[in-house]
Structure formats: structure tokens, C-alpha cells
A = this chain, B = another copy of it.
Amino acid sequence: MKVIKRISIVGTGNVAYHLGRALLKNNFQVDGVWGRTKANAQKLARDLNTISFDQLIQLPENSDLIIICVSDGAIQEIVEKIPSSFALAYTSGSISLNDLPKRDNIGVFYPLQTFTKSRDISFDTIPVLIESKNDQFAESLKKCASKLSRTVRFTNSEERFQIHIAAVMVNNFTNHLYHLADLHMKKHQLPFDILKPLIIETAEKIKDISPIDAQTGPAKRNDLSVIENHLNELSDETKEIYQLLSKSILKNNS
């Protein structure tokens, strides 16, 4: 099993930034950064105390691993452009290994988290899902990930796909509900801030209690008159969403 020590990063978004910082912090050598937009690559290179490349063919041969942190639609093209001598990992939740060109050392290194550049995050709490058809390489990736995170798990493409669906539900959709609540509060000149302790506690609760047992509120109590009053106040898609989610909670009561 090859030990991964030197890494180059392809991509300059939120994942590239936070993964790069975690690598540096854990004493990996970040050889360099490539990005489609030169200025972004230069900026990330500065943040990671390394150099940037203009061309993918300039990636340094002594890097043990190239981590590809680009949007799903760009992964295939990037993989095709990187010489086959390089070992590659990509950070996508959706793209199956079967959809990419076969090569000896290619794998998945998927940190299951939502990243924003402006917000620090402890990488060691983030589950990292590892996959490769090459068992030796999978072990190398796992060992590398284990230096960054306490939770590393071999996960095949099908499992990763299912986990990604669940992640969309608990992250993207939940955050969208925060946004709709924010709009609702603004509409009534009320401060969104007052909801923040409730938002935090709703999430913290599931550390101890399963979501089905944590449920409270009018739909859980079969309180149809409160639901009706709320629906009469809402319009458009917020009303539709309120209706559909209440119906789904009510269904659980029966």
C-alpha cells in the first residue's frame, strides 16, 4: 500500500478550500493547485501556502494523489485530461466510478458535509466516504482520510448515491425551510434571529432522540384547526410545502 504524503488539488471551490486547509493542518504537503479560472487558483494557492498551475499537464509528477474537487459535470473531462500515471480521487456524492474512464488508481474521497468558505469547520468530525475498485488504493485513501477525520467508511457508488439523496433532504431542503421561514418573518417585520435557538435545538435533539420520537407540533398532535389557520395565512409554494409536509406528518400518526 502506497502511503499518500504529497497531494495536488484540482478545483478552487469550497470543498477544495476546506480540504486543502485540513490537509495542511495534518502535515500533508500540498504541492499545488489548478483551477479553470487562473485568479481563483492563485487565490487558493496563496491561502494554502503553495503554487498554482495554469495547465493540468503541469501537475507535479511527485504528487502521490490528485484530489479533484470540481462540480459533478466537470469531473469526467478533468479525469480524461490528467495523465494516467497519476493517482486520482474525486469528492463527489453523485458520480459513480462506473461513469468515469477506467484507470489503475482512481477513487472517491467524499466528505459528507456542507462547506462555505467564510465558515471554519473541524474536518475531524466530517464522515469521509472512500471507494476504489483497486483495494490497495482504497486502503491508501482510507489511511489518508483517517488522518483528517475520525469517521472514514468504505462505501460503494450505490450506497454513496443513496446517502447523497438523504444528505440533500437533511441539508438542502432543511436549509430551504430556514429560507422560507426567513421570508415569512421578513414579510411580517419580525426578526429571523429569534428562531435560531429553535433551529439549533431541532438539530441537536437528534443526537439523543430519533427524529420520529423528537416530533412535536400541530400535525403531530392532529391539530387540524391550527394547520388550517396557518394554511390560510400562506400562499404560493410555501403553502404547498406546508400542506404536503403536514400531510406527511399526519400520515405517521395513524
Binding site for B on A (CB under 8 A): 14, 71-73, 94, 112-116, 118-119, 121, 125-127, 151, 153, 159, 161-182, 184-185, 188, 190, 192, 194-221, 223, 226, 229-230, 233-234, 237, 240-242, 244-245, 247-249, 251-252
Contacts and interface: CB of A to CB of B under 8 A. Distances in A.
A178 B206 contact: yes
A95 to B, nearest CB: 9
Contacts of A180: 169, 248
Given A116-B209, A165-B242, 15 more contacts: A112-B197, A114-B214, A153-B194, A163-B185, A168-B218, A168-B230, A169-B177, A169-B180, A169-B184, A171-B199, A172-B220, A176-B249, A178-B206, A179-B252, A244-B244
A212 B248 CA distance: 25
A155 to B, nearest CB: 8
8 contacts: A14-B216, A112-B194, A119-B205, A161-B229, A170-B202, A173-B177, A181-B211, A241-B248
A182 B165 contact: no
Q: A116, A125, A237, A247: which has the most chain B beta carbons within 10 Å?
A: A116
A64 B185 CA distance: 34
Contacts of A177: 169-170, 173-174, 177
A211 B94 CA distance: 23
B116 A219 contact: no
Given A194-B151, A203-B202, A185 B172 contact: no
A-B CB proximity, top 3 nearest: A172-B217, A203-B203, A179-B211
B185 A166 contact: yes
Contact of A195 (B166, B194, B212, B248): B166
A114 B208 contact: no
A114 B201 contact: yes
A118 B210 CA distance: 12
Q: A165, A166, A242, A251: which has the most chain B beta carbons within 10 Å?
A: A166
Contact of A182 (B210, B220, B233): B210
A161 B232 CA distance: 12
A97 to B, nearest CB: 15
B223 A198 contact: no
A73 B225 CA distance: 10
A108 to B, nearest CB: 15
Q: A113, A173, A182: which has the most chain B beta carbons within 10 Å?
A: A173
